[in-house]
């Protein structure tokens, strides 16, 4: 059996990218259905045939055909990691395969097939985009086949006579690869796929006829190879719809305290008020970088801390519910560390800062699993006096 290079290239690309992680994958896991249409190119090679009446071997020409095809199927996706997707898929395709091979112009064989069914496994690499869409590049491997009808014909005086008809359910290896693109914020996908079925073999023997004109015995094997290019659409039932991200505005900084009223030299000035927060800093998806909006909030917190008499500073880091729990816990820790570095670099003594990391726990805005929500991608900064919990 020949090795199919495009399938190996797609499979290698998927495995090479599998280690890349992200905080969320938009491609929906679970069951889905699909429909497709395309074009088939098939070739049937007929082995040498032996005739008992003259004990000679006949060379037969290959039979070829090119026809439109279309069908339906269903599948199920499993998420192995944020970037790696595996699945199973089954489908049936209607086609019109008619491959005639002939010895000279007087005798030959017709091989016909009207449908192709397949059951395959898929392995691919998934990539998410900021607009809520997702793409998948995959390789697929499985088995496929259908019922093949073989007719032995003979042409005599310009008329074609069918000498024998044979039928067989032929099964062979099928492999290929494809690309899927999930439309933004929907369960619909568009897909393009290439499949190659090889070595669908049919053995046959034709015994002596009652008709003395064609009394002979023929033996042989028909090998059929099929290439199928198709495009289609799919609709997923499981998982969730990809979200449309709405970025909430950064909360305004607290107003500065009113100017102190003039007092006489005999009355002590009132003690400054300590604004203990919380001061909330938001982050972009799957990031721990301090944005310009976050810098403004942190500068306000640093200024307010000057009125708090060296109170303790507590940082609490969080992440939204997209992605794996363990990954999000580490992401919330990186966000708290980024805020700590900013405060230390702006005059706050590092020794008074403590941090806690909650990951997906304690969301500011509760959501379903896998949803991106900016209000949950945050660090909260709170000042604590001595003895205060």
Residue of higher predicted confidence among 140 and 28: 140
Residue 157 — very low, low, confident or very high, per pLDDT cuts 50/70/90? low
The domain of 356 spans: 279-384
Mean pLDDT throughout 29-51? Answer: 79
Cis link prior to 278 (omega < 30° from 0)?
Answer: yes
Pair 154, 52 in one domain: yes
173 inside domain = yes
- Residue 357: burial class (beta carbons within 10 Å; 0-12, 13-18, 19+): buried
Q: What is the pLDDT of residue 239?
A: 56
Which of 236, 267, 292 finishes a domain?
A: 236
Asked whether residue 248 is domain-assigned, the answer is: no
In this structure, is residue 207 part of a structural domain?
Answer: yes
Can you give the CATH number for the domain in which 299 is found?
Answer: 3.30.1330.60
Q: Could you give the number of structural domains in the chain?
A: 2
The whole model's pTM is what? 0.51
Is 116 part of a structural domain of the chain? yes
Least confident residue range of 60-74, 163-177, 207-221, 272-286: 207-221
Residue 139 and residue 43 share a domain: yes
pLDDT score at 97: 72
- Could you tell me if 211 and 343 lie in one domain? no
- Where a domain ends, among 220, 236, 252? 236
Do 179 and 309 have their domain in common?
Answer: no
**Vertex 287: Cα angle to 347 and 289 (nearest 5):** 25
Task: Evaluate if residue 59 carries a pLDDT over 90.
Answer: no
| Both tokens assigned to 55 | 């004990």
Q: Which segments of the chain are extended strands (E)? A: 30-46, 49-51, 56-58, 63-79, 84-103, 107-128, 134-156, 159-182, 188-206, 218-236, 279-282, 312-318, 353-359, 378-384
What spatial distance separates the first Cα and last Cα of the chain, rounded to whole Å? 72
Top pLDDT among 347 and 140 is at: 140
Residue 105 lies in a domain: yes
User: 214: which 2 tokens?
Assistant: 């064609």
pLDDT at 142 over 90: yes
Sign of the dihedral defined by the CA atoms of residues 13, 18, 20, 26, in that order: positive
Contacts of 145 (CB under 8 A, 6+ apart): 116, 117, 118, 169, 170, 171, 172, 197, 200
For the chain, what's the residue count? 389
> Would you say residue 170 lies in a domain?
yes
Residue found by looking up tokens 């966000």 in the block:
335
Asked if 88 contacts 120 with a C-beta cutoff of 8 angstroms, the reply is yes
Does any domain span residue 272?
A: no
pLDDT one-digit tens code per residue, 310-349: 788 899 999 998 888 889 999 999 999 999 999 999 888 8
How does residue 217 score in pLDDT terms, banded at 50, 70 and 90? very low
User: Domain boundary at 201, 236, 271, which?
Assistant: 236
List the one residue out of 307, 247, 249, 313 whose CA is nearest residue 278: 313
Which CATH number fits the domain that encloses residue 214? 2.40.160
Q: Residue 193: its pLDDT value, please?
A: 95
DSSP state of 183: P
According to the model, what pLDDT value does residue 306 have?
83
């Amino acid at each position: 059996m020949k090795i199919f290079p495009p399938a190996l290239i797609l499979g290698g690309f998927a495995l090479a990218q599998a280690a890349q992680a992200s905080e969320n994958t938009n491609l929906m896991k679970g069951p889905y259905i699909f429909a497709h249409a395309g074009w088939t190119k098939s070739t049937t090679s007929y082995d040498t045939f032996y005739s008992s009446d003259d004990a000679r071997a006949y060379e037969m020409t290959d039979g070829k055909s090119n026809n439109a095809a279309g069908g339906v199927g269903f599948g199920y996706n499993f998420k192995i990691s944020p970037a790696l997707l595996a699945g199973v898929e089954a489908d049936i395709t209607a086609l019109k395969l008619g491959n005639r091979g002939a010895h000279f112009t007087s005798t030959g064989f017709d091989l016909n097939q009207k449908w192709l069914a397949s059951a395959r496994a898929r392995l691919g690499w998934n990539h998410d985009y900021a607009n809520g869409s997702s793409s998948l590049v995959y390789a697929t491997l499985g088995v496929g086949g259908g019922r093949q009808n073989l007719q032995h014909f003979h042409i005599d005086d310009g008329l074609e006579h069918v000498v024998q008809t044979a039928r067989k359910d032929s099964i062979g290896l099928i492999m290929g690869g494809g690309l899927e693109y999930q439309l933004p914020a929907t369960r619909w996908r568009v897909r393009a796929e290439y499949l190659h079925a090889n070595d669908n073999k049919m053995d046959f023997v034709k015994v002596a006829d009652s008709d003395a004109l064609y009394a002979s015995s023929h033996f042989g094997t028909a090998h059929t190879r099929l290439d199928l290019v198709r495009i289609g659409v799919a609709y997923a039932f499981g998982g969730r719809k990809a979200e449309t991200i709405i970025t909430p505005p950064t909360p305004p900084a607290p107003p500065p305290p009113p100017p102190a009223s003039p007092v006489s030299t005999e009355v002590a000035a009132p003690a400054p008020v300590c604004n203990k927060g919380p001061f909330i800093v938001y982050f972009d998806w799957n990031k721990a970088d301090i944005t310009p909006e976050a810098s403004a909030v942190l500068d306000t917190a640093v200024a307010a801390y000057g009125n708090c008499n060296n109170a303790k500073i507590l940082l609490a880091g969080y992440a939204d519910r997209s992605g794996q729990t363990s990954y999000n816990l580490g992401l919330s820790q990186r966000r708290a560390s980024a805020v700590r570095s900013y405060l230390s670099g702006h005059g706050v003594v590092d020794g008074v800062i403590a941090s806690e990391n909650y990951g997906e726990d304690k969301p500011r805005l509760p959501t379903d699993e896998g949803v991106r929500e900016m209000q949950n991608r945050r660090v909260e900064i709170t000042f604590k006096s001595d003895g205060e919990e």
